């Protein structure tokens, strides 16, 4: 495959570079595996996802053979995790990310843009080309239940029903929401644990929203007192604003990147917008 290097004499992309960028893709491959998968002992189930970026080959249509990614993970990355689980299981999984990232890039002949380790169905950690070498990306999903009503006093009753449909029910309706903050955290700060993240999410989001009627119980969504419509878009923004300062206080260099809120499994919103 051909990769076009930047023009050393100019910051202006060449026509080849522009064409390559226009046709670039990001390919994701997930490898699932177990550590100590026996019938008599306790095993660990994990997933590693590798993302590669580039322009697919014109003949095959492939960016890279996915079996090559499988081989990379099973030959060079899983042994690192297996050794840590066997010999030193206490350290944070994030402490292994730099070693995994270095091994992945050293043993693969294609640009890797991210490496994501799914630790549980709700928690994953990641290194990518935009994170500093001593930081990682942390994502954890949480759930809460709440009711709301979508209604604007500036619209007629008929228009409200047309715009919001069943969501305009006078007594409201409920959802089982999922909220996922994305943070960058320092790898070597052992006080910045997932339990610390759990604590601030519980205090600043879940305690304020769980089992609440958002219009009536949450001032930020009380439109009679200057609040905003409790749409999933505004809920995502509210959660970000609530968590931004506490997340920054977790450790030096900790930062809340974004928050995604799912209203249903088919409808979600991320704030602020990220591509």
Q: List the catalytic residues.
A: 167, 211, 263
Any idea what DSSP says for residue 142?
Answer: E
**Within the chain, where are the H helices?**
15-22, 66-72, 78-87, 97-106, 157-164, 194-201, 207-209, 214-217, 232-248
Show contacts of 124-129: CB within 8 Å, 24+ apart: 125/93, 125/94, 125/97, 126/97, 127/97, 127/98, 127/100, 127/101, 128/51
Same domain, 72 and 158: no
What pLDDT, on the 0 to 100 scale, is given for residue 4?
Answer: 33
Number of structural domains (the chain) is: 2
Tell me the average pLDDT across 11-26: 63
- Which residues are within 8 A (CB) of 163 and not within 5 positions of it... i.e. 6 or more apart? 150, 152, 155
CATH number of the structural domain spanning residue 77: 3.30.479.10
Which residues constitute the domain of residue 206? 131-275
Same domain, 207 and 99: no
Same domain, 143 and 156: yes
Tell me the average pLDDT across 195-219: 97
User: Which structure tokens are listed for 219?
Assistant: 């001032």
Residue 120 has pLDDT above 80, yes or no: yes
The more confidently predicted of residues 38 and 273 is: 273
What pLDDT, on the 0 to 100 scale, is given for residue 10?
Answer: 46
Choose the final residue of a domain: 128, 146, 169: 128
List the beta bridge partners of residue 267: 264
pTM comes to 0.86
What pLDDT, on the 0 to 100 scale, is given for residue 193?
Answer: 82
The more confidently predicted of residues 91 and 173 is: 173
Same domain, 237 and 137: yes
Choose the final residue of a domain: 71, 98, 128: 128
What pLDDT, on the 0 to 100 scale, is given for residue 189?
Answer: 83
**How far is CA 172 from each of CA 89, 97, 149, rounded to the nearest angstrom?**
48, 45, 4
Peptide bond into 21 cis (omega under 30): no
Work out the mean pLDDT of the chain and round it to a whole number. Answer: 90
Same domain, 118 and 201: no
Predicted confidence (pLDDT) per residue in 132-187, tens digit: 889 999 999 999 999 999 999 999 999 999 999 999 999 999 999 999 999 999 99
Q: Band the pLDDT of 87: cuts 50, 70, 90.
A: confident
What pLDDT, on the 0 to 100 scale, is given for residue 14?
Answer: 52
Same domain, 62 and 145: no
Predicted confidence (pLDDT) per residue in 180-206, tens digit: 999 999 998 877 788 999 999 999 999
Could you give the maximum distance between any two Cα atoms of the chain, in Å?
67
Choose the final residue of a domain: 128, 143, 170: 128
Same domain, 142 and 259: yes
User: Which structure tokens are listed for 35?
Assistant: 């550590």
Residue 50 has pLDDT above 90, yes or no: yes
């Amino acid at each position: 495959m051909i990769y076009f290097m930047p023009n050393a004499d100019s910051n202006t992309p060449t026509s080849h570079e522009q064409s390559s960028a226009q046709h670039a893709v990001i390919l994701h491959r997930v490898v699932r595996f177990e550590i100590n998968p026996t019938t008599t002992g306790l095993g660990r189930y994990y997933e590693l996802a590798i993302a590669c970026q580039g322009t697919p080959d014109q003949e095959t249509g492939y960016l890279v053979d996915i079996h090559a990614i499988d081989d990379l993970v099973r030959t060079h990355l899983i042994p690192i995790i297996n050794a840590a689980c066997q010999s030193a299981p206490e350290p944070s999984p994030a402490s292994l990310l730099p070693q995994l990232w270095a091994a992945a890039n050293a043993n693969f002949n294609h640009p890797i843009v991210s490496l994501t380790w799914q630790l549980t169905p709700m928690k994953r950690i990641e290194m990518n080309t935009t994170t500093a070498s001593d930081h990682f990306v942390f994502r954890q999903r949480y759930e809460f239940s709440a009711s709301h009503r979508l209604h604007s006093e500036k619209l007629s009753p008929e228009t409200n029903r047309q715009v919001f449909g069943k969501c305009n029910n006078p007594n409201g309706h409920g959802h089982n929401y999922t909220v996922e903050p994305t943070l960058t955290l320092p790898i070597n700060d052992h006080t910045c644990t997932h339990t610390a993240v759990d604590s601030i999410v519980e205090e600043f989001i879940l305690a304020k929203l769980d089992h609440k009627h958002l219009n009536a119980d949450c001032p930020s969504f009380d439109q009679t007192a200057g609040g905003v419509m409790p749409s999933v878009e505004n809920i995502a923004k509210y959660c970000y604003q609530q968590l931004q300062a506490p997340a920054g206080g977790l450790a030096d260099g900790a930062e809340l990147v974004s928050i995604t809120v799912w209203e249903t499994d088919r409808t979600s919103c991320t704030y602020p917008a990220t591509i």
